[in-house]
């Protein structure tokens, strides 16, 4: 049921991915600062866990990016097949996240994780056809 | 370095997968009822917010977000995202059998490759060692 051209389709998908990467990296950075939520919930209850998360500025910025991502997704799935838009944007997000996590979060993105990136990239190429 | 996940943590990852895929599918079903949204008719996004399917999708996606944040609090971003990628397969199945979207052989192969790729990550440790001062994060 795709209603738009190929270029517009992939511009929309890239916009979804870009905002998702910003949201993911910001929220992951925030969660690292906050610590294990299961432990916080055990110690301070659900309200304490919510307070710890909602009071973190980096988390709120991440949520803003995710909200923009959500409305772009909503706009996109009304024009493009969800079976293309959802996995394609998620795959691009995964590739961008691997690089962003290494640079910004200093995660150890080893060979195993980069091989996974290549598989995902190949998968995205097939989704484009 | 944490190398093994507890049953509770596996259930959190399962919740991430199911809520993400069913949430997206409900959202797509609702948006098909609402109709195409264009820049000239952005008010349709508000109409979409009154659609029960869209609302149900949003509720599931809120559940996804809560479980996703929980997972991020004890695992790397580059572990959580691929480890929950089975949701792509669930989305494809829902799209095909429920939303009646056509999925070509190429797309099925693409989805299969994605799942294989993320299988590499799922076999690794959820959290890698990285002692970084708070001020240097992001």
Structural domain boundaries in chain B: 7-136
B90 interfaces chain A, CB cutoff of 8 Å? no
Work out the minimum CA distance from A43 to partner chain B, whole angstroms. 15
Tell if the CB–CB gap between A81 and B129 is shorter than 8 Å.
no
Tally of structural domains, chain A: 1
Answer yes or no: do A78 and B137 touch at CB < 8 A: no
If you write DSSP's letter for every residue of chain A in order, what string do you get?
---S-HHHHHHHHHHHHHHHHHHHHHHHHHHHHH--HHHHHHHHHHHHHHHHHHT-HHHHHHHHHHHHHHHHHHHHHTTS-HHHHHHHHHHHHHHHHHHHHHHHS-----HHHHHHHHHHHHHHHHHH-
Question: What is the Cα A68 distance to its own chain's centre?
Answer: 12
Q: Does the residue A1 lie in any domain?
A: no
pLDDT tens across B72-110, in order? Answer: 988 888 788 777 777 777 777 777 887 788 888 888 888
Residue range A23-40: average pLDDT?
90
CA A20 to centroid of chain Cα atoms: 4
Q: Which residues contact A51 (CB under 8 A, 6 or more apart)?
A: A44
Q: What is the pLDDT of residue B134?
A: 55
pLDDT greater than 90 at residue A16: yes
Above pLDDT 90, what percent of chain A? 27
Structural domain boundaries enclosing A100: 6-128
Most confident of A80-94, A99-113, B50-64: B50-64
As a whole-number percent, the residues of chain A with pLDDT over 70 amount to 94
Contacts of A99 (CB under 8 A, 6+ apart): A109
Whole-number percent of chain B with pLDDT over 90: 17
Query: Tens digits of per-residue pLDDT, A53-88?
Result: 999 999 999 999 989 998 888 888 888 887 778 777
Q: Is B135 a residue whose pLDDT tops 70?
A: no
Task: Reply yes or no on whether the pLDDT at B71 is more than 60.
Answer: yes
Residues 48-77 of B with CB under 8 A from A: 48, 61, 65, 69-70, 72-74, 76-77
The least confident of A119-123, B3-7, B18-22, B118-122 is B118-122
ipTM computed for the complex? 0.72
- What chain A residue is nearest to B108 in terms of C-alpha separation? A127
Mean pLDDT of the region A94-102 = 85
Backbone angles phi, psi at A81, to 5 degrees: -55, 130
How many A-B residue pairs are in contact by the CB < 8 A criterion? 186
């Amino acid at each position: 049921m795709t209603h738009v051209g190929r270029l517009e389709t992939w511009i929309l998908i890239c916009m979804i991915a870009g905002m998702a990467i910003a949201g993911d990296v910001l929220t992951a950075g925030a969660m690292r600062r906050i610590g294990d939520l299961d432990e916080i919930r055990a110690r301070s209850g659900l309200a304490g866990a919510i307070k710890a998360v909602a009071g973190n500025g980096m988390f709120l910025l991440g949520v803003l990016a995710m909200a923009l991502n959500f409305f772009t997704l909503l706009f996109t799935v009304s024009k493009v097949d969800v079976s293309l838009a959802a996995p394609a944007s998620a795959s691009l997000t995964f590739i961008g996240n691997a690089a962003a996590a290494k640079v910004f979060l200093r995660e150890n993105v080893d060979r195993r994780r980069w091989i996974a990136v290549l598989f995902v990239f190949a998968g995205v190429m097939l989704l484009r056809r | 370095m944490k190398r093994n996940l507890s049953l509770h943590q596996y259930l959190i990852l399962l919740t991430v997968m199911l809520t993400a895929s069913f949430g997206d599918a409900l959202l797509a079903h609702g948006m098909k009822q609402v109709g195409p949204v264009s820049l000239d008719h952005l008010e349709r996004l508000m109409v979409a917010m009154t659609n029960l399917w869209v609302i149900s999708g949003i509720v599931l996606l809120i559940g996804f977000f809560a479980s996703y944040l929980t997972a991020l609090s004890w695992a790397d971003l580059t572990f959580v995202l691929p480890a929950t990628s089975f949701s792509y397969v669930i989305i494809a199945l829902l799209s095909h059998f429920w939303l009646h979207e056509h999925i070509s052989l190429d797309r099925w192969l693409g989805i299969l490759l994605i799942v294989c790729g993320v299988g590499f990550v799922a076999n690794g440790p959820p959290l890698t060692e990285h002692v970084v001062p708070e001020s240097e994060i992001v």
